[in-house]
Structure 1
Amino acid sequence: MTMHVMLLTFMSMWVLAWKFHAEATYYHRQTIHHEHSANMENLLPENHLLENLLTDEVPISHPVNLSRTFYGIMFDAGSTGTRIHIYKFIQKDPVELPVLDNELFHAVKPGLSAYKDKPEEGGNTIRALLKLAKKTVPDTEWRKTPVVLKATAGLRLLPEEKADALLEEVREVFEESPFFVPKNSVTLMNGTNEGVLAWVTVNFLTGHLYAKTKKTVGILDLGGGSTQITFLPKSKKTVFTAPPSYIAKINMFNHTLQLYTHSYLGNGLVAARLATLGALGADGLDWKVFTSSCLPKKFREDWTFGGITYKVSGIPDGYAGYKLCYYEVMKVVKGIVHQPFEIKGSSVFYAFSYYYDRAVESGLIDGSRGGMVEVRDFKKRAKEVCNKMTKYRPISPFLCMDMTYITCLLKEGFGFKDNTVLQLTKKINNVETSWALGATFDHFNNLNIH
C-alpha cells in the first residue's frame, strides 16, 4: 500500500463517525458471545466529508483504490486490568464512507500497575493480547494496522520512574510485533482526555454527534483509580463558575465545543476503598490493619491493589452499617469533588464501568440489558446491602463500601438530585462504552483537545 493510500485510509476512518454500522463480537475471558448487528446513520454534510477526507498530500484528481478492509488496535491499560479493542472497518467503495464492521474486546487482570516491580511480566500480558490480535487481523493487514496503548489512572498513581519502565517495556513489545507502530503509540493518557474521549464514544454510539446540534448526553465513568465526568454545558454559568482547568475545548464539526470535564485521580472505586480505610499512601503495611464499618464484622483478609498488599478488616466489636459507612466515605468525597452549576438540571447521563458492575452485582439492574435508575435507587440498595452484609459477602465483602461510595459520590460529590435518572450501560449497539473508540478517532484525526 502506498503512503498516499495509507494516509487516505487512516483519515477516512475518522469519517466513519458520521455513518455507522456496528456488528460486535466480544471475548470475555474464555467466553465467546454471539455476533449482533445494528444500523445507525450519522451523516455529515458533504462539505465536511470532503474537508475530512482531502489533504494536501492526497491529489483529488487521482482516485486511489482503498483497501476494502482495515483495522485499528487500541489497548486500554487501566488500574484493574488491561483491555484490547480490535476494530474492523470496511471501505465498501472509495467514494462512500467506511463503516465500523465489528469490535473484538478482551480483558485480562490484573492491570499493568501490578507489575510495577516486574515490567517484563507486564510486557508478557501485552504479548498475550497481541496473539489474539494476530488471530483476528489477517496477516496481509498486519503491517498496515496501527497498534496503540494508552494507560490511565493505575500508572498515573505510580512513581514516574516505575510508570516509565512499564511503558518502555510495552514499546519494546510493540516493536517486536508485526503491526504498524505509530509515533507516540504508547502513552500515559491524562484524565481530561480520558473523559473527553469517553464522551465522544458514547455520543457517537448514541447517535448524538450530528453536525450543528448540541443535543448530547453526559458521561460518568468510574474506574478503579479515577472517575470522570464530562458533559456539554447548556448554561454559560456552568463554564464561568467552573475551575478553568475543568473546561476542555475540542475541535469537531469545524467548530470548537466547550466541554465540562474532570478526572478525579484517587476517586476511582478501588482507590476510594483505600482512602476510606485510611490506607492510601500509608506506611507500615506489613503490620497495620485497616478497619472499616463498611466491611462485615468478621471479615479480615489481605487485599492487593496496584501490586501492594494491605491487611483489611471489619470491626469485630464495633458497629457496621450504612450510616457509619456513609460517614466514612464522605471524607473521600466532600470538598474534593466540584459540583457543576447545572448538574441538578435535566441533562441525560450515561454511567458505566464500576457504576454498571456494582449495580449488576447488587441486583439493581439486569446484567444482560443494563437499565435506567435514579440516584435514590443506588442509595436504597446501598442501605439494603450494608444492613445485610452477611448475605452479600459471597458476592463481595466490599459491596457495602462500594455502593455507599457510589451513592455519596453522586449525591455529595457531583450534587445530583435523588430523582436524577442515569442510564447504566456496558455496551451501546454492542460496542464497549469506554474512551477506546474515541481515542481511535483521535488517533486518526487529531481532535486537538486542550
Structure 2
Amino acid sequence: MHARDVAVSYCRDVPLCVKMRPGVPVNAMLLVLLAMVGLSHAQVKTSLLELTNSIGSLLPALSRPANSSRIFYAVMFDAGSTGTRIHVYTFIQKDSAELPVLDNEMFHSIKPGLSAYADSPEMGGHTVRLLLKVARKTVPRLEWKRTPVVLRATAGLRLLPGDKAKALLDQVLDVFHESPFLVSDDSVSIMNGTNEGILAWVAINFLTGHLNSQTKKTVGILDLGGGSTQITFLPKSKKTVESTPPDDYIARFDMFNSTFELYTHSYLGNGLMAARLASLGALGAEDVDWRVFRSCCLPKKFKDEWSFGGITYQVSGIPDGYAGYKLCYQEILKVVKGIIHQPYELKDSGVFYAFSYYFDRAVDAGLIDGSQGGKLEVKDFKKRAKEVCNKMTKYGTASPFLCMDLTYITCLLKDGFGFKENTVLQLTKKVNNVETSWALGATFHHFHNLKIH
C-alpha cells in the first residue's frame, strides 16, 4: 500500500491531536494535520488558506474596533475510561489572512467515565449535560449557535459491547441536540485506539520541537490509560520494521516533505485498570456479585470493593498466603507475557515520554514531583515496586493497589515492551505548559470537516 493510503486510513476519521499553549499560532499544527494525509507543500499552503477561510466564515467575528479581531469558540469532550473531560477553547483571529491563535482554554472533568453508565445511558448523558454548564458559562450567549460541540470516546467505550456503547453515544447526541450549541452529524464518535498512539507521538514531538528538526531526532511516547496502553516511536533500524509480524504495527505518512514510518500499537485491555482486573482473575468473570477476587499483590488483610467500567468487584489479599514483589511479579507476568510485542530496537532506544498513569503512579510512589514531573529510568519503577510490595503493612493502608500498579508498570516496560532497565523515561503531564492532549487537534479537524465535507 502506498504511504499516502496508509496515512489516510489512519487519520481520515480522527483528528491530529496537537495541543498548544495559549497565545501560540496554530499554523504549524495545521501543517502537520494536512501533511499527514500526504499533501504536497503547495497543496498544504493552499489547503491552509482554505481552512483558515472556512473557520472564519463558519464563526463570524465579534466587533473589536481596535484591531478588527474576531473571537470564536469550540467545545470538545474527551470521554475516557475513568472520566469525562470538557475543553472549552477560545480562539482569536486578527486578520482573515492569518491563522487563528488559541487564547484560552477552560477545562473541567467528572468521574466516573461514560462506560460506567453502560446499563443506564440516561445517567451517562446527564453527566455530559452537567459539564455543558461549563460551556454555557464560558461561551457568550450570542455565540452559542455558532459554537460546535464534539465528543470523542476512547478505550472505556471500546471495551463495551457494541449495543451498549451505541446507546451511550446516542444518549450523548440527544443531550447535544438539547443544548444551544452547533451539532453536526459526526459530533459524537469513538476514537480508534491506534490513532491515539500516532496522534500522541505527533503532539509530543511537535511540542518539543522535534518535528521541525531536519535530523529526524524524535522521542517515543508511552501512554497508559485505564483501558488501553499505546507505544509509538520512529524506528532507526529497518529490522524493527521488517521483523514486526502484523502490518498494523507500522504506520507510514508524509510530513514536512519527509516520510515517517512509525512503529505504533494500541493494546486494548492492557490499561492499568483493565490489568488490575486481569491480575485478579476478574476480567470477563461472571457472578461478580458474590465472588471475592484475590491477589498476592494486595495486602493480606485488605478487603474492599473496587469499581471499574460500571461493575463493582469484591477484592482482597490472600489472608493465609504469601505476598511480596516476587509473587506479585509472577502474577502480573501472566497478564503481559505473550500479549505485548517486543520491538527489535527498544533495547538501544532513546528517550521516551511517558504520561497518564505512568505519571500518576510515579507521583503516588514519590518518584517525581507532581507539578514538575521528571526523568526516571525503568529500574526506578522496579526498585520502588520492590519497596512497596515488600512493606505492604506500611504502604497498603493508604494505597492498597500501589504494589500491583507499580509491578504492572515494571513488568509492562521490561517483559512486555522489552526496555532495558537503564532506559530513560521523561514523565510528564505537560510539555512547555501544555497538557499532552488530542483535544485541540480534534477541534481543528472538526472545523475543517464542517466546511469542506
TM tier relative to shorter chain: 0.7 to 0.9
In 1, Cα distance between equivalents of 2:215 and 2:28 = 12
1:401 aligns with 404
The reply on whether 1:315 has 2:318 as its aligned counterpart is yes
2:10 aligns with none
**Structure 1 residues 52 and 38: alpha-carbon distance in aligned structure 2, compared to 1, 3 A threshold:** closer
Q: What is the Cα-based RMSD across aligned positions, in Å?
A: 2.9
In 1, Cα distance between equivalents of 2:310 and 2:50 = 47
In 2, Cα distance between equivalents of 1:378 and 1:406 = 7
Q: Is the 8 A contact 1:201 1:437 kept in 2?
A: no
Q: Is the 8 A contact 1:89 1:98 kept in 2?
A: yes
SS in 1 for 2:314: strand
Q: Is the 8 A contact 1:299 1:397 kept in 2?
A: yes
Superposed, 1:326-345 pairs within 5 Å as 326-345=329-348
In 1, Cα distance between equivalents of 2:330 and 2:170 = 42
1:22 aligns with 21
In 1, Cα distance between equivalents of 2:147 and 2:298 = 47
> Which of 293, 296, 299 is residue 293 of structure 1 equivalent to?
296
Tell me the CA shift for residue 144 of structure 1.
Answer: 2.4
**Structure 1 residues 236 and 70: alpha-carbon distance in aligned structure 2, compared to 1, 3 A threshold:** farther
- Counterpart of 2:193 in structure 1: which amino acid? G
> Which of 438, 443, 448 is residue 446 of structure 2 equivalent to?
443
- TM-score normalized with structure 2 length: 0.84
The reply on whether 1:252 has 2:259 as its aligned counterpart is no
1:147 aligns with 149
- Counterpart of 2:355 in structure 1: which amino acid? F
- Counterpart of 2:443 in structure 1: which amino acid? T
**Structure 1 residues 395 and 94: alpha-carbon distance in aligned structure 2, compared to 1, 3 A threshold:** farther
- Counterpart of 2:187 in structure 1: which amino acid? S
SS in 2 for 1:293: coil
Tell me the CA shift for residue 355 of structure 1.
Answer: 0.4
Q: Is the 8 A contact 2:17 2:200 kept in 1?
A: no
Tell me the CA shift for residue 440 of structure 1.
Answer: 3.1
Superposed, 1:338-353 pairs within 5 Å as 338-353=341-356
SS in 2 for 1:209: helix
Superposed, 1:365-404 pairs within 5 Å as 365-404=368-407
SS in 1 for 2:211: coil
1:34 aligns with none
Q: Is the 8 A contact 1:211 1:253 kept in 2?
A: no
Tell me the CA shift for residue 178 of structure 1.
Answer: 1.7
Once the two structures are superposed, what CA deviation does each residue of 1:109-141 show, in whole Å capped at 9, x if it has no partner?
000011011101100110111110111122233
In 2, Cα distance between equivalents of 1:317 and 1:140 = 66
Higher mean C-alpha displacement, 432-441 vs 333-342: 432-441
Q: Is the 8 A contact 1:228 1:264 kept in 2?
A: yes
> Which of 136, 139, 144 is residue 137 of structure 1 equivalent to?
139
Question: Structure 1 runs of 4+ off > 4 angstroms?
Answer: 14-17, 37-49, 56-59, 64-67
SS in 2 for 1:80: coil
SS in 1 for 2:335: helix
Q: Is the 8 A contact 2:16 2:441 kept in 1?
A: no
The reply on whether 1:51 has 2:46 as its aligned counterpart is yes
In 2, Cα distance between equivalents of 1:367 and 1:279 = 31
**Number of equivalenced pairs:** 415
**Structure 1 residues 261 and 400: alpha-carbon distance in aligned structure 2, compared to 1, 3 A threshold:** same
Tell me the CA shift for residue 265 of structure 1.
Answer: 0.7
Tell me the CA shift for residue 142 of structure 1.
Answer: 2.1
In 2, Cα distance between equivalents of 1:57 and 1:397 = 51
* Bigger RCO of structures 1 and 2 (CA < 8 A, at least 6 apart): 2
Tell me the CA shift for residue 360 of structure 1.
Answer: 0.3
SS in 1 for 2:380: helix
Once the two structures are superposed, what CA deviation does each residue of 1:47-101 show, in whole Å capped at 9, x if it has no partner?
5763232349969xx9x98662222322111111111122222222333332222
In 2, Cα distance between equivalents of 1:205 and 1:54 = 23
SS in 2 for 1:295: coil
2:199 aligns with 197
**Structure 1 residues 94 and 121: alpha-carbon distance in aligned structure 2, compared to 1, 3 A threshold:** same
1:231 aligns with 233
Tell me the CA shift for residue 400 of structure 1.
Answer: 0.3
Structure (1/2) with the larger helix percentage = 2
- Counterpart of 1:283 in structure 2: which amino acid? E
**Structure 1 residues 146 and 237: alpha-carbon distance in aligned structure 2, compared to 1, 3 A threshold:** farther
**Structure 1 residues 183 and 248: alpha-carbon distance in aligned structure 2, compared to 1, 3 A threshold:** farther
Structure 2 unaligned runs (5+)? Answer: 1-14, 33-40, 62-68
**Identity, % of aligned positions:** 70
2:179 aligns with 177
Tell me the CA shift for residue 103 of structure 1.
Answer: 2.3
In 1, Cα distance between equivalents of 2:73 and 2:218 = 28
In 1, Cα distance between equivalents of 2:368 and 2:205 = 22
In 1, Cα distance between equivalents of 2:198 and 2:338 = 23
1:429 aligns with 432
Structure 1 unaligned runs (5+)? Answer: 1-13, 24-36
**Structure 1 residues 233 and 145: alpha-carbon distance in aligned structure 2, compared to 1, 3 A threshold:** farther
Once the two structures are superposed, what CA deviation does each residue of 1:292-311 show, in whole Å capped at 9, x if it has no partner?
11000000112111111111
1:354 aligns with 357
> Which of 108, 113, 116 is residue 115 of structure 2 equivalent to?
113
- TM-score normalized with structure 1 length: 0.85
Tell me the CA shift for residue 383 of structure 1.
Answer: 0.7
**Structure 1 residues 21 and 340: alpha-carbon distance in aligned structure 2, compared to 1, 3 A threshold:** closer
Higher mean C-alpha displacement, 319-328 vs 188-197: 188-197
In 1, Cα distance between equivalents of 2:127 and 2:368 = 32
Tell me the CA shift for residue 160 of structure 1.
Answer: 0.8
- Counterpart of 2:290 in structure 1: which amino acid? W
Superposed, 1:63-78 pairs within 5 Å as 68-78=70-80
Once the two structures are superposed, what CA deviation does each residue of 1:364-385 show, in whole Å capped at 9, x if it has no partner?
1010110010000000011111
SS in 2 for 1:337: coil
2:305 aligns with 302
Tell me the CA shift for residue 104 of structure 1.
Answer: 2.2
Q: Is the 8 A contact 1:226 1:267 kept in 2?
A: yes
**Structure 1 residues 255 and 445: alpha-carbon distance in aligned structure 2, compared to 1, 3 A threshold:** farther
SS in 1 for 2:131: helix
SS in 2 for 1:96: coil
- Counterpart of 2:132 in structure 1: which amino acid? L
The reply on whether 1:273 has 2:268 as its aligned counterpart is no
In 2, Cα distance between equivalents of 1:177 and 1:264 = 35
In 2, Cα distance between equivalents of 1:15 and 1:124 = 29
